[in-house]
């Protein structure tokens, strides 16, 4: 039996390891292409740390090629190739990865996953109390990840080609636009409440423009043109859990746009300008400064500020009034604007532009919630319209 090789300190060397005369350590291995390679280090511990990374890379490559890579590893591989994504999307990716690492399904080899297994996993998530949107988010990562594996010919078929709605019920709460009566009650209450009145202008602007709340708080003084009575939208302002601010482009490619000001919105913006406390040093975020809406500490507001404020307002209102208000969020205000514009007869392409939607179907199918009153009004207009002979249209 041959004697085991050792270094100058008497430590046993593994296969492929060598201690050179100059004191450095070398590790020789065969890469995934079959080529011989060498790495060097000044200490044995450093060399073996590099060896671990090499083996991990080699094993992952072999596992992927054979389809033995796990579902969560496949998701990580897919996400690693998505560079330059928005902060919120990256946060969603991390959420899905963490969920997969807690589920047995995440450790199954991808070659063993069939469409029925994928559907069963979605059903399990739903039965465990996960919301429809959470199940959709998981499928939204796994579908393109498995598609990548199919394109690489690692698997024959993508098992996540089904629609989530065909597997689990869509129990997501539908965002409903405020009725005129609800809107008036809410605005009157906000104006009368000394504590909540400070949010009135923000609410009026959202109701009168349909902006996303992150777009509203991304506005700077230079984005408001009172002479032309228009607002320039070209950024969103967000903040992570560590209170670090981020500037991002609008949600879609159609999000960069100009919004006209009504008299009410113009007045609300003027009030905002006049009430904004002068700052000794304007906070600079990714090259932008002069943000219109500031919190009590003089820092730019973000979506959570208004989301929490609206919830407190509605909770307090419903605790003291017999006729309650529905849940109101910044997005409900956006829905309300879109629905009112549609009911007023604005053409869908103009409405799509104002909302910043890249797809007109989003405008048509999601944001325009009609009502019996609106339908009856439109019906009445059609019934009373004159025909070609000048007579009213008869039934």
Residue 2: phi and psi, rounded to 5, are -70, 150
CA distance 291 to 185: 30
Give one DSSP letter per residue of 141-208, joined into a string. HHHHHHHHHHHTTSSSS-TT-S-GGGTS---PPPP-PPPHHHHHHHHHHHHH-TTTGGGHHHHHHHHH
Active site residues: 212, 251, 331, 334, 357, 367
114: alpha, beta or left? (left if phi > 0; alpha if psi -120 to 50): beta
Sheet holding 17-19, edge to edge: 17-19, 25-30, 36-41
CA distance 114 to 159: 5
CA distance 77 to 211: 36
CA distance 305 to 213: 10
**Residue whose pair of structure tokens reads 């429809």 in the numeric block:** 132
Question: Which residues of the chain form beta strands (DSSP E)?
Answer: 17-19, 25-30, 36-41, 224-225, 230-233, 236-239, 245-248, 257-260
């Amino acid at each position: 039996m041959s004697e085991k090789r050792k270094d100058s300190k008497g430590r046993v060397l593994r296969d492929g390891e060598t201690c050179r005369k100059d004191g450095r350590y070398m590790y020789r291995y065969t890469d995934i292409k079959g080529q011989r390679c060498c790495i060097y280090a000044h200490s044995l511990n450093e060399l073996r740390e590099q060896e671990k990374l090499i083996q991990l890379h080699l094993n992952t490559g072999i596992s992927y090629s054979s389809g033995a890579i796990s579902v969560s590893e496949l998701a990580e591989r897919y996400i690693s190739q998505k560079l330059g994504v928005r902060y919120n999307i990256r946060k969603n990716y991390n959420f899905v990865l963490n969920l997969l690492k807690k589920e047995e399904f995440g450790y199954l080899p991808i070659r063993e996953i069939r469409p029925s297994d994928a559907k069963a996993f979605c059903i399990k998530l739903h039965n465990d109390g996960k919301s429809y949107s959470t199940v959709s988010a998981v499928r939204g990562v796994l579908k393109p990840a498995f598609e990548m594996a199919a394109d690489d010919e690692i698997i024959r078929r993508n098992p996540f080609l089904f629609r989530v709605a065909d597997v689990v019920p869509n129990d997501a709460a539908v965002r409903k636009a405020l009725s005129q009566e609800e809107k008036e009650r809410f605005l009157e209450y906000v104006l009368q409440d000394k504590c909540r009145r400070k949010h009135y202008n923000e609410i009026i602007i959202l109701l009168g423009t349909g902006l996303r709340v992150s777009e509203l708080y991304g506005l700077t003084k230079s984005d408001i043109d009172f002479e032309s009575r228009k607002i320039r939208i070209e950024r969103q302002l967000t903040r992570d859990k560590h209170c670090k601010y981020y500037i991002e482009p609008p949600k879609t490619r159609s999000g960069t746009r100009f919004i006209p000001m009504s008299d009410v919105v113009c007045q609300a913006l003027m009030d905002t300008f006049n009430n904004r406390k002068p700052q000794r040093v304007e906070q600079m975020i990714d090259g932008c400064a002069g943000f219109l809406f500031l919190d009590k500490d003089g820092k730019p507001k973000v979506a959570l500020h208004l989301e929490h404020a609206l919830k407190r307002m509605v909770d307090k209102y419903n605790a003291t009034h017999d006729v309650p208000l529905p849940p109101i969020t910044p997005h409900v205000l956006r829905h309300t604007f879109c629905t009112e514009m549609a009911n007023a007869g604005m053409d869908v392409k103009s409405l799509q532009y104002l909302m910043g939607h890249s797809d007109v179907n989003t405008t048509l199918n999601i944001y325009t919630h009609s009502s019996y009153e609106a339908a009856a009004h439109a019906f009445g207009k059609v019934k009373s319209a004159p025909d070609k002979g000048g007579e009213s249209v008869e039934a």
